[in-house]
Structure 1
């Protein structure tokens, strides 16, 4: 029997079907590790450890997770019966690391490493035909990432608690992500609106009822780089009243626009957020399900390209749709540091229009398939007409110029399949075919049919959405696309440092602002450039161009010095304990947790003072009002109080209201019919 160990049990059924077809005479058993089986210990720090799980020599120590112990016990039994063990975890650093941990935990001598970019017969067959070994450089990169994260979390978080008294969490990547949101909010709060003005002329178009517009070019003699806004409303109204203009120039040019690239992990998350209103975590979970079902290629990819071998299938599908494909495969530039070992996110069977077991899976599959197909279609072609106009007469002695541009789609190309780039926010999408300018001759005179004053206001920066924050993280080099979903889930749902408002915009919570306040300017890992450099160092470890120990030591030295500086300059938080005065003598009350009827507050001057107060959620409440009678105490003359409690352990008598006074009066009297004290039987 041959044993194949995969990460997710969701792939098991599909792989069993494939193996029975491509290896019909062999006996295979497939088991899942369900992710990592070992991790750094969460607690416990040895004498020679920097922190839990990291030794003084920067090397990690591992232990089986609670779930991992059960998984390994099950896998050990399967391994003992196997002639060969295939480690088929995912084709990325995390998957490579899981394979290595399985090898160590199961004491495997010569495991065979295979990885599938997609769960299809062809890819599984190819991988089994060319097996490999565990890539220890990739394992080292993942191990370094885990240790770097542990050092920041376990060294800095206690320092934040020391300073604030609150259980705050710092993270190597989560904190810079929160920082971006906090900085944007500060920019918005500091923003001051500037009112300014412009003008627009409206002209009759070539077709009946059609109009086109030209806008006043204030940059031509009215504003400067230092003073970019035109503030004179009166003059702008005069410009809007212009009717006669002369054509300075009119040009028509051809423009082509290529389609967007197939999805990478990052752009898929952005598109799912904009088009489907999903958060990144949801998008990744549904993509994982589609991958496990064999419908799409591996969804953790930095490569924005389809494979060369996919082109015949793309051509066949495009031909069936009446669409034209580029002659040579269109190649898109990957971002710096991208790992291009496997293609972008594409269908595994291009001819399949609908795939997935749930509506959500089908929605995402459609988004992925259409985008990937469109990436290899012909460009969209436009005719772009640009016209410049000048007022026939100066306005108060000044030359006034207008400009306009219009675009007409002449060949849709890829846009016949995909209308817009779903990764773009609404304000980033191009306006199209919205200004039908006729062909005009230079020197010809035109008459505007109307004019408008443009009342403008500068706009504050937009708050991040989950989609635009993912885009910003990628642009800044913070984290890696495969980690973005976890980052956002952590700072929004787990930690509560960021909230999502009803417009799906991200806002920092007070606790998130407090974390940044304590880190900013004090810890270098919060700096975007420092974090980007660390990510590049991890890439270099994976490529064999940097050493694990040097990268870890760099961060540790920085953290160690910064924490020492904070301890020396920032006082330890001391919680102020509120003092509640006794209602009788004004001395402090203390909370008594184990009273006969539950917790209550009693005077610290007891037994000299018998003042009490009920406990209301941990603080003193208002003492119960005592209803004083008109019957005087026979002993001290103070008013008597009727005290009554029904039930088996009840009572019914009259007591002196001076019971808690100093000196105390403990006189009591039986209750007579008609609710009055029997003054002849006082005690």
Structure 2
């Protein structure tokens, strides 16, 4: 679809207007030539809506029969998975194609209707969208909560107690058997006035066995959240590294896909993978650690479907293949491998004890637990520690060693991080696995929000844009409305809804809102944000502006001074020389792109070719993406010892 226009024929049943991507003519001609030579053409694009639509477009370009069984799907790029997929080719699933078209058309109708209004009324380079506008509103609503928050005082009293020779901690619970909040220092003084030097008596002991089930294997969103929290990966970086692991790494026996497809909201695991995991777990830990025993039977009538994100083979342990992966790949692969193996193990069992003890009506409470059977915790690091209490029974006497009152104030809700924003979007049914990373990237690229201490903070521009969209397009930023729309689009995917009808129900009232906004929305002047340094030409302060191609630095003395500077673009790869900085895209005076470390001049790494974040399996030097004459790219070793197949 053209970038310069909506490319949706609203009057003709919302027919999308497709064009070939500029510059891809030679590739299309090559594909047509090869297709004519072949006895059979198979379409093996990604196993999701977007992949199904790509296969449909290819079928049209190559004049293939839509009803032919030429579509093959696999969730992992391994020899067995690919061979099995070719044993069961199927027709192109038009429900999936329609679902993808519906989403694309809907996004065009929203974005290409609202964005031009924002350009006229606010400034050029702005955008609006179904998911990005909801994400922005969530961030701003949270900021409003923080600004409106009034802290409240409260107090705690923590005590150290002793039973025999063992000490333990307990906290103030209440008075005379009733739970009590301490809101002022006077409350604390009142409680402490009742305490004497006498011993405490155990009033209540509750012992229970508690089971904690293993976590589910990763979906896209849960992987993104854990990668952010545990290995400090940005969402974009997580998906980039996951793509590398999915597409394949040379692990000494050839290039092999190491994980299943990374865009999924399924927690399903295939019986084959369950069997493999059961064998591994039984061999390493014993059969009582395996959730499924040692074998799993195929479910009767089970259909191949999307799976959770898992290693393509559990026997490719992180330790076994570590030497073939770079640091980032190993971090993410280890996260995925550990989560999958843990998900196939039995739950952990804890012995828990809850105790209440009192003196003169003042009651303290303590809780303790001990792992009885570690289950999945044998392999999966967990934040919970054993917190043992000495064995006690009702009527036992314990000594108080000390008590410590402490003042606190309630805290406002935290700003969203990438992980918590994704979690909130998912919990509210907004967006799908393929949309989270680009949504987060877009709201930052448009400068609606900025990251401060890894938390999203709305900018003045974001506040203005959100206010206008809330006023003139309330449904677009309504979480419930957006979630219901996602549900209808999911119904298209399974053949329950006709995609044009879903679009029509949305567009008719929406088009009236567009007309009203064009007529009534007032023009707003936005001040440019200071860049924090001065113009090297005239000495005036530089500011950040947003142009057609994104943000850039410009002199505030315009038009008297027209000096501008590009804002560097990170490529998501750690510097292969210093291993501390990030590789950024830079330009020479003649506008030629090259790549360097953002720690320059401390690190002087530069390269004309883009590093890809992997090391050469032969010599250990960094690999880079080299452009080939006549079109295409190739991954090659910077030392000249290795090269991969050309990519057109």
Query: Does the pair score TM above 0.5?
Result: yes
1:451 correspondence with 2:403? yes
Per-residue displacement from partner, 1:468-511 (whole Å, max 9, x unpaired)?
A: 1111111111110122111111112x21222112x211111221
Cα 1:412/1:458, change in 2 over 3 Å: same
User: Rg: which structure is higher?
Assistant: 1
Matches within 5 A, 1:286-325: 286-293=241-248, 294-323=257-286, 324-325=288-289
1:350 Cα deviation from its structure 2 partner:
1.2
Cα 1:234/1:290, change in 2 over 3 Å: same
1:251 Cα deviation from its structure 2 partner:
1.5
The residue that corresponds to 1:432 in the other structure is 385
The residue that corresponds to 1:596 in the other structure is none
Match of 2:309 among 337, 342, 345: 345
RMSD: 2.5
Matches within 5 A, 1:518-533: 518-523=468-473, 524-533=475-484
1:263 correspondence with 2:224? no
1:218 Cα deviation from its structure 2 partner:
7.5
1:409 correspondence with 2:371? yes
Check conservation: 2:163, 2:399, Cα contact below 8 A. no
The residue that corresponds to 1:550 in the other structure is 501
The residue that corresponds to 2:122 in the other structure is 164
Per-residue displacement from partner, 1:413-458 (whole Å, max 9, x unpaired)?
A: 11110112xxxxxxxx5x4323x32232223343311111131210
Q: Distance in 1 between matches of 2:337 and 2:123?
A: 51
The residue that corresponds to 2:521 in the other structure is 570
The residue that corresponds to 1:388 in the other structure is 356
Cα 1:616/1:367, change in 2 over 3 Å: closer
The residue that corresponds to 1:213 in the other structure is 170
Superposition TM-score, scaled by structure 2 size: 0.73
The residue that corresponds to 2:618 in the other structure is none
Cα 1:206/1:87, change in 2 over 3 Å: farther
Count of matched residue pairs: 505
Cα 1:111/1:73, change in 2 over 3 Å: farther
Q: Distance in 2 between matches of 1:83 and 1:445?
A: 87
Q: Distance in 1 between matches of 2:304 and 2:433?
A: 13
The residue that corresponds to 1:43 in the other structure is 4
Q: Distance in 2 between matches of 1:575 and 1:183?
A: 21
Check conservation: 2:176, 2:362, Cα contact below 8 A. no
Between stretches 511-520 and 162-171, larger displacement belongs to 162-171
Q: Distance in 1 between matches of 2:129 and 2:291?
A: 48
1:84 correspondence with 2:40? yes
Cα 1:412/1:67, change in 2 over 3 Å: farther
1:212 Cα deviation from its structure 2 partner:
2.5
Cα 1:198/1:359, change in 2 over 3 Å: closer
1:461 correspondence with 2:429? no
Check conservation: 1:205, 1:212, Cα contact below 8 A. no
Q: Distance in 2 between matches of 1:205 and 1:508?
A: 53
Per-residue displacement from partner, 1:564-607 (whole Å, max 9, x unpaired)?
A: 3334433456999xxxxxxxxxxxxxxxxxxxxxxxxxxxxxxx
Check conservation: 2:173, 2:179, Cα contact below 8 A. no
1:216 Cα deviation from its structure 2 partner:
2.6
1:265 Cα deviation from its structure 2 partner:
1.0
Check conservation: 2:278, 2:293, Cα contact below 8 A. no
Q: Distance in 2 between matches of 1:249 and 1:67?
A: 77
Q: Distance in 2 between matches of 1:106 and 1:320?
A: 50
The residue that corresponds to 1:253 in the other structure is 208
1:135 correspondence with 2:93? yes
1:462 Cα deviation from its structure 2 partner:
0.9
The residue that corresponds to 2:394 in the other structure is 442
The residue that corresponds to 1:479 in the other structure is 431
Cα 1:159/1:322, change in 2 over 3 Å: same
The residue that corresponds to 1:30 in the other structure is none
Cα 1:552/1:219, change in 2 over 3 Å: farther
Per-residue displacement from partner, 1:346-390 (whole Å, max 9, x unpaired)?
A: 111211113453221122111111111111212111110001223
Q: Distance in 2 between matches of 1:130 and 1:617?
A: 64
The residue that corresponds to 1:179 in the other structure is 137
Q: Distance in 2 between matches of 1:540 and 1:328?
A: 33
Q: Distance in 2 between matches of 1:247 and 1:107?
A: 82
Match of 2:57 among 101, 111, 133: 101
**Secondary structure of 2:476's aligned partner:** helix
Per-residue displacement from partner, 1:158-200 (whole Å, max 9, x unpaired)?
A: 2223333454211111110111111111111111111111222
The residue that corresponds to 1:512 in the other structure is 462
Cα 1:160/1:137, change in 2 over 3 Å: same
1:128 Cα deviation from its structure 2 partner:
0.8
Q: Distance in 2 between matches of 1:260 and 1:358?
A: 27
1:616 Cα deviation from its structure 2 partner:
5.0
Check conservation: 2:153, 2:184, Cα contact below 8 A. no
The residue that corresponds to 2:346 in the other structure is 378
1:292 Cα deviation from its structure 2 partner:
1.2
**Secondary structure of 1:449's aligned partner:** strand
1:53 Cα deviation from its structure 2 partner:
3.2
Between stretches 115-124 and 135-144, larger displacement belongs to 115-124
Q: Distance in 2 between matches of 1:177 and 1:298?
A: 25
**Secondary structure of 1:98's aligned partner:** helix
The residue that corresponds to 1:27 in the other structure is none
**Secondary structure of 1:63's aligned partner:** coil
Check conservation: 1:259, 1:375, Cα contact below 8 A. yes
1:260 Cα deviation from its structure 2 partner:
0.8
**Secondary structure of 2:268's aligned partner:** coil
Per-residue displacement from partner, 1:310-369 (whole Å, max 9, x unpaired)?
A: 233212222342254335379xxxxxxxx9922211111211113453221122111111
Per-residue displacement from partner, 1:394-431 (whole Å, max 9, x unpaired)?
A: xxxxx4332221111122111110112xxxxxxxx5x4
1:363 correspondence with 2:325? no
The residue that corresponds to 1:28 in the other structure is none
Cα 1:222/1:130, change in 2 over 3 Å: closer
**Secondary structure of 1:87's aligned partner:** coil
Check conservation: 2:155, 2:406, Cα contact below 8 A. yes
Q: Distance in 1 between matches of 2:176 and 2:237?
A: 46
Q: Distance in 1 between matches of 2:314 and 2:102?
A: 38
1:97 Cα deviation from its structure 2 partner:
0.4
For structure 1, the residue ranges without an aligned partner over 5 or more in a row are: 1-39, 45-50, 224-228, 331-338, 394-398, 421-428, 577-614, 621-683
**Secondary structure of 2:289's aligned partner:** coil
